[in-house]
């Protein structure tokens, strides 16, 4: 889509904040009003619109995508996000350790186990861990616990948790980002221990490197989105 506006601005409006393109209220792709919970978040999204060149590229506006998903999808149907979060709990990346090489197994244990221990202490449920590719059953109470966690989140934070979980392949990492236990860089490194180990051992692969760069950008956008939700509250 061609750029059709000259200015993008944000302003408070009652207990929310809005964005205007040439003075006209910005709407979501589903035509809902883009009303945001904090002015800093609205200002950051307005900056994404202002930075567009001759053509509008949604892929360069991750904050806009997160906010629009929260308004158009998650606020209307929380199951859109909750079902995935619960499903990832049953196959969480951190529950599956390598059996070999020993260096990788040790690295996973050193970086993943503290997060699993944090998850246990924070949410009162312990994930079971296995080695190799055999599936491992998780505690029967885990789905209900994750349901309650999701139910306690507003649509914006639930959207952020959903994006983080599905991008990283781990609800534990998603919740660690949500709680501020990890920043984007640490979550990225933790999610990609296997790939990073292989790259260090055998050399870099351009396609894998590009994929890792994209994941880091996504996680950075999510953590920035969460920070802007907190700002001003």
pLDDT, one tens digit per residue, over 128-143 is 999 977 889 999 999 9
CA–CA gap between residue 106 and residue 114 (Å, rounded): 13
CA–CA gap between residue 108 and residue 103 (Å, rounded): 9
Answer yes or no: are the C-beta atoms of 230 and 156 closer than 8 Å: no
- The band of 165, judged by pLDDT with boundaries at 50, 70 and 90, is very high
CA–CA gap between residue 133 and residue 61 (Å, rounded): 37
Enumerate residues 6+ apart whose C-beta is below 8 A from 35: 13, 16, 17, 18, 71
Compute and round to an integer the Cα radius of gyration of the chain: 20
Answer yes or no: are the C-beta atoms of 8 and 46 closer than 8 Å: yes
Weakest mean pLDDT among 36-50, 62-76, 148-162, 204-218? 204-218
Chain mean pLDDT for the chain? 94
Residue 74: predicted pLDDT? 98
Q: Is the pLDDT of residue 170 over 80?
A: yes
Answer yes or no: are the C-beta atoms of 74 and 162 closer than 8 Å: yes
- Give the tens place of pLDDT for each residue, 79-120: 999 999 999 999 999 999 998 888 899 999 999 999 999 999
Q: What is the per-residue DSSP string for 176-197?
A: HHHHTSS-HHHHHHHHTHHHHH
Residue 62: predicted pLDDT? 98
- The band of 156, judged by pLDDT with boundaries at 50, 70 and 90, is very high
CA atoms within 13 A on the CB side of 79: 1
What's the predicted TM-score (pTM) here?
Answer: 0.94
Q: Is the pLDDT of residue 15 over 90?
A: yes
Task: Please give the structure tokens belonging to residue 184.
Answer: 């984007």
Enumerate residues 6+ apart whose C-beta is below 8 A from 78: 150, 151, 155, 158
- Give the tens place of pLDDT for each residue, 36-85: 999 999 999 999 999 999 999 999 999 999 999 999 999 999 999 999 99
Share of the chain above pLDDT 90, in %: 85
Q: Is the pLDDT of residue 232 over 70?
A: no
CA–CA gap between residue 70 and residue 165 (Å, rounded): 15
CA–CA gap between residue 140 and residue 229 (Å, rounded): 33
For residue 106, report the phi and psi dihedrals to the nearest 5 degrees: -65, -40
CA–CA gap between residue 206 and residue 209 (Å, rounded): 5
Weakest mean pLDDT among 12-26, 148-162, 171-185, 206-220? 206-220
Answer yes or no: are the C-beta atoms of 36 and 16 closer than 8 Å: yes
Residue 83: predicted pLDDT? 98
Between the alpha carbon of residue 74 and those of residues 70, 120, 213, 219, the distances in Å are 5, 27, 27, 19
Q: 3-class SS at 203?
A: coil
Q: Is the pLDDT of residue 194 over 90?
A: no
Residue 99: predicted pLDDT? 85
């Amino acid at each position: 889509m061609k750029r059709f506006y000259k200015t993008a601005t944000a302003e408070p409006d009652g207990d929310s904040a809005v964005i205007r393109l040439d003075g006209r209220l910005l709407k979501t792709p589903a035509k809902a009003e883009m009303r945001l919970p904090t002015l800093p978040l609205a200002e950051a999204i307005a900056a994404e619109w202002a930075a567009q060149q001759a053509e509008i590229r949604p892929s360069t506006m991750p904050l806009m995508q997160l906010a629009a998903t929260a308004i158009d999808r998650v606020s209307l149907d929380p199951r859109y996000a909750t079902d995935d979060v619960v499903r990832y709990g049953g196959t969480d990346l951190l529950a599956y350790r390598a059996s070999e090489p020993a260096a990788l197994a040790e690295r996973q244990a050193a970086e993943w186990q503290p997060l699993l221990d944090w998850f246990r202490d924070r949410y009162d449920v312990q994930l079971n861990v296995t080695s190799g590719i055999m599936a491992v059953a998780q505690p029967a109470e885990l789905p209900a616990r994750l349901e309650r966690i999701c139910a306690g989140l507003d649509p914006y934070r639930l959207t952020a948790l959903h994006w983080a979980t599905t991008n990283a392949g781990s609800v534990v990492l998603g919740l660690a980002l949500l709680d501020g236990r990890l920043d984007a860089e640490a979550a990225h490194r933790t999610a990609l221990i296997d790939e990073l180990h292989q790259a260090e051992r055998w050399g870099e692969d351009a396609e894998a490197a590009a994929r890792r760069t994209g994941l880091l950008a996504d996680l950075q956008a999510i953590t920035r989105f969460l920070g802007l939700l907190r700002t001003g509250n």
